[in-house]
Amino acid sequence: MRLLYVAVLLPLVALAQKELASSVRGVKEAVPKEGRRLRQTKEFTKSRPAPTPQRPVAVRPPKANNSTTTESFILKLYWEEGYFWQQEDFERRWCMQCVNNCTIGGSIQIVNCDNDGKHGFPNRFSFLPNANVNANKEVFVQEASSGLCMERTSGAWKITLQSCKPDVPRQIFIVDKGSLVLGDRFQLRPKGHLNSCVTQDHHPKYAEIVEIQSCAYAVFSETAYWTLLA
């Protein structure tokens, strides 16, 4: 009887060992393929370019109030990222300066705000509210050192400095699309000509004369807005 058990079990054990050996070989053969697939996946992931981060949105400082200021400030052409003045994607700071020392009948030009070109520093201006209206939008723009006001020439689009006269409508400008608060931008439009803006011709450069152009053209040239420097 014992010999019969041995005769029956031996073939079964041999068969089991054969199947086990076959399974082990299958596992060994499968590992390199999986390893290659894993390495390929890692290499593909490594070579894929990282997504471009979104540009943060610029946040303007909060407005303390909306009142017209009587302090003196420098008037600078507003610039923001994306502007392309003179085929340059960085800012050159342009500010208002009197031509010929702020005399009656004189013009205003733009110069480098930091006097990098050694053409003198910009002048300072104050915004005097129009006492005849209950609003902060109508102002006289007065040059601080001379006390003269910006005036639109009658029948033309030139701006000159003249003695301040509250009864001369050509000296009144409308503050639009912004406010006279540090950090904000705004447009200056001559009263009675609200489709026109104080600007200069096309892209700014040294000694461009400040004048009045259509707001549509100024927006196209990216020179429709001004901002204040303390």
Which tens digits make up the pLDDT trace of 111-169?
Answer: 999 876 677 789 999 999 877 665 558 999 999 999 999 999 877 789 999 999 989 99
Residues 6+ apart with CB under 8 A from 229: 73, 74, 75, 76, 95, 113
pTM of the model: 0.67
CA distance 210 to 214: 13
- The pLDDT of 79-88, averaged and rounded, is 88
pLDDT band at 109 (very low <50, low <70, confident <90, very high): very high
Count the Cβ atoms, other than its own, within 10 Å of residue 161: 25
Percent of the chain with pLDDT over 90: 45
Query: Which of 59 and 20 is assigned the larger pLDDT?
Result: 20
pLDDT cut 70: percent of the chain above it: 66
| Pair 175, 223: CB distance under 8 Å | no
What would the mean pLDDT of 35-45 be, rounded to a whole number?
Answer: 38
